[in-house]
Amino acid sequence: MSPINLKSPITVAHGDGIGPEIMAASLRVLEAAGAQLEIETVEIGEAVYLQGHSSGITAETWDSLRRTRVFYKAPISTPQGGGFKSLNVTVRKTLGLYANVRPCVAYAPFVETRHPKMDLVIIRENEEDLYAGIEHRQTDEVFQCLKLVSRPGCERIVRYAFEYARANGRRKVTCLTKDNIMKLTDGLFHKVFDEIGQDYPELEKHHAIIDIGAARLADTPEDFDVIVTLNLYGDILSDIAAQVAGSVGLAGSANIGDQVSMFEAIHGSAPDLAGQDKANPSGVLLAGVMMLNHLGQSPVAERIHNAWLATLEDGIHTADVYKAGRSKALVGTKAFAEAVIARL
C-alpha cells in the first residue's frame, strides 16, 4: 500500500507585475506555517497572451485546474489593445466560479482608517451581468454590451450569501441593486433576495439602491455586515470598501464554484511597482488563508492569520499602509513576509 498523500494539490500562478514577488513571499509564509500543499506551477497572463493565446491561459493550465480544483493566483496584466480577453473573467466563467467573496476589515489602530469598526463581506455575483462578455459593434458609431441576469444565477448567489451569513455568525444581509431603473434585470435580483430571505428569519435583511448604498458604504461602512450584489456593483463596492478600510492592498478574495475555487488578491498587478520589493503581500497572503480554510487546513490558516495580525500590530508595515508615528518599521515585501514567519 502506498502512503496516503496528506498534501492538498493546488495550482499556482505567479502572474505579472508585482505578482511574482508577492506570491513568492506568500508561499514562503504558507510553507513555514506548515501548510500541506502540493504545488503545480502554471504560467498565465502577459507572456501567455503574447504567445498568441488571446485568453492569456493555455490548455495545460486548464488541465491542471481541473486536476487540482484549487487555483492560487497572483495578479496578472492584460496587454493593451483589442483582442485580449480578461483572464480573470475567462477563468471565473469557464470554471463556473459563481461567488466572489471579499471580506473588508479595518485593522485599527494598527492600520490607519477612518472607520475602525468596519468589518464586512461583499458577496459578489461572479459570472453574469455586464461581465457575460457579450459586446458588439452595431454600426460604426454605436456599440452595445449586454447585461444578462438569470433566475438560477440570482438564486445561487443570494442563497450563497445567506448561507455564508449564517455559517459565519453574521447578522445582517444587504442587497444593493438599481432596480428603480433596471426593473427586469436588477428587479429579478431584488425579488429573489426577498424570496430566499424568507428562509433566513434570524437574519436582518435590507435593500438599497446602489447609488445611495455606495454613498453609505463610503461614508459609514461600519453599518454594513454582509452585502450581496450584482457583478459590476460588487467590483466597484469591493474596491471602495477595501480602500476605506485601510488599503486595497490588504484584501484577499475567494472565487467559489461547485468544482473549482480560485483565491486571489483584489488588487491588480501594479506594473509601476514591480521588481522593487515594495509591494504589500497581504492581499495574496489573506487569499491564501481563505484557501487553507477551504482546503480544511484551518489550524494552519489561523496560525498565519494571527502571525500576520501580530506583524501589523507590531507596526511592521509596507509602504502602502506605513504611517510615520503610527508604524514602527517601513519594510519591503520580503522583510514583511519574514516578520510574519517570525511570529508564526
Chain positions contacting a second copy, by CB under 8 A: 78, 82, 86, 89, 114, 130-131, 135-137, 140-152, 178, 180-185, 187-188, 210-212, 214-219, 232, 235-236, 238-240, 242-244, 248, 268
Residues in the chain, total? 344
Instruction: Report the Cα 135 to chain-centroid distance in Å.
Output: 25
In angstroms, rounded to a whole number, what is the distance separating the alpha carbons of residues 66 and 48?
Answer: 19
Question: What are the grid coordinates assigned to 160, written together?
Answer: 450563497
The SS3 assignment for 9 reads strand
Q: Assess 248 for contact with ligand IPM (CB under 6 A).
A: no
# residues contacting ligand IPM (CB under 6 A)? 9
Of 241, 253, 313, 249, nearest in space to 91 by CA: 253
Binder of residue 176, out of ligand IPM, a second copy, none (CB less than 5 to 8 A by kind): none
Binder of residue 287, out of ligand IPM, a second copy, none (CB less than 5 to 8 A by kind): none
Q: Which is nearer to ligand IPM, 320 or 338 (by Cβ)?
A: 320
Residue 129 DSSP code: B
In the chain, what is the straight-line distance between the N-terminal and C-terminal CA atoms, in Å?
A: 35
Question: How near is the Cβ of 247 to a second copy at its closest, in Å?
Answer: 9
**Cβ atoms 45, 306 nearer than 8 A:** no
Binder of residue 137, out of a second copy, ligand IPM, none (CB less than 5 to 8 A by kind): a second copy
For the segment 187-216, give every residue that binds ligand IPM (CB under 6 A): 211
Instruction: Report the Cα 178 to chain-centroid distance in Å.
Output: 23
Q: Which of 89, 310, 319, 330 binds ligand IPM (CB under 6 A)?
A: 89
Q: Which residues bind ligand IPM (CB under 6 A)?
A: 86, 88-89, 180-181, 211, 235, 266, 268
